[in-house]
Amino acid sequence: MLERYSLSPMRELWSLETQYQHWLQVELAVLSALEELGEVPAGTFVTVKQAVHIDVAHIGCVENEIKHDLLAFIRCLEEQAGKAGRFIHRGLTSSDIKDTALSLQIRDALTLVLNAAEQLKDVLLEQARQYQDLVIVGRTHGMHAEPTTLGLKFFLWYAEIMRDISRLERAKGIISVGKLSGPVGTYSQISPDVERLACERLELQPAKVASQILQRDRHAEVIAAIAITGTTLEKIALEIRHLSRSEVAEIEEPAPEGSSSMPHKRNPITSERICGLARILRGNLQSALENVALWHERDMSHSSVERIVIPDSFSLIHYMLVKTTNLIAGLVVHRENIEKNTGLTKGAIYSQILLIELIERGVSRSAAYEAIKTASQTASRDNRSLLSVLKEDPKLGKLFGESVLDEEALLNELRITSRRIIAQEKFDE
């Protein structure tokens, strides 16, 4: 993990010490289950629990000697626990501990991500309500289309974050499983009852079936939910970048960054960073998908990948959510530029209204469409309003003898529609 793109408490969750703490939590849960079922002497669990502690440096020294991280961890615990330590890790294989502990870490990390996503969701809804009446030109293909409201932009993102939260919650359920069934998953030296009791203590569900490992489609689904959420944040940041451009200047980051050489620059650096980090998340998803197909009951090709992509993906999405929330909460809105840009085409953004007016006055749709298209090109070339050019049309001009475009009434109707959409509390997605 890069320190630059990781925040507390997510950073600490993926530390080596926290990993060992989760390993210990699983080992103790199994030991407690074994004792409850009478498979180890009474008092073993308490004796071990009171005796052991995590010594990161010592575990590292032992690992350097024997070249196996989990075995080094167990050896250190056994040294501390004395005679009772011989029951630690009974009937288990490394992946029982590592995969079950990883589920705990991912579950906790998803809780942090969901909390951050909820905060962003709340800020987006707040901004949607604040700007539900602020008319802004809508753009399709980067070109002026019809008016919308700034509030509806925020509300669109709010609805998408709601879907992201649903995906993350589903992923949390998918990964909240443990596997304590021994080598190749056959319960050869440990019973399903031990797995069931230990998982209950850990608040996990036992996997219905496993090989030597938990199957990696679960982890891939988690990273997919993270990558999709990251792409939503990229979508938001990209819009902010476009609307911040000098020739648009409708909104601005709360703290744009300057240039080392050009003092006038106000660069949307946070939005650009979010867009860049979203690419990393999508790349990590590709790696997670490739981890699903392993040889037979397991191989080790997924392990090295996961040591990178899982902590990094969680650190990045948490960082991106926090930064996006701050960005949205402090966004600077330039109302005067929004109003200026809305009138930039001198009424051409109301071309569909005029099209419908002509149709209702008896003109065929095709003829009306072509007439307005030609008039729009003339109006743009001559820097005139679309309606004024249409009124000069020898065939259609008489149809525009009375006013057919009450712009303020149209905008008020748009504001009413915007308020009605944003007032929705439930989504039927």
What are the residue numbers of the active site? 141, 259
195 close to 93: Cβ distance less than 8 angstroms: no
- Residue 220 token pair: 């891939």
Tokens linked to 233: 């944040």
Percent of the chain as helix, strand, coil, to the nearest 5: 65, 5, 30
| 3-class SS of residue 420 | helix
Contact predicate 320/233, CB 8 Å: yes
**Cα 227 versus chain centre, distance:** 6
Q: What is the largest CA-CA distance in the chain?
A: 104
Identity of the amino acid at 332: V
- Distance of alpha carbon 421 from alpha carbon 128, whole angstroms: 10
* Residues ≥6 apart with Cβ < 8 Å to 328: 120, 123, 124, 127, 154, 236
Question: Which long-range contacts (C-beta less than 8 Å, at least 24 apart) are formed by 355-364?
Answer: 357/399, 357/404, 357/405, 358/396, 358/399, 361/399, 363/396, 363/399
SS3 337: helix
**Six-digit token string for 26:** 């699983």
Which of 190, 181, 131 has the alpha carbon at shortest distance from 156?
131
Residues 6+ apart with CB under 8 A from 248: 242, 337, 341
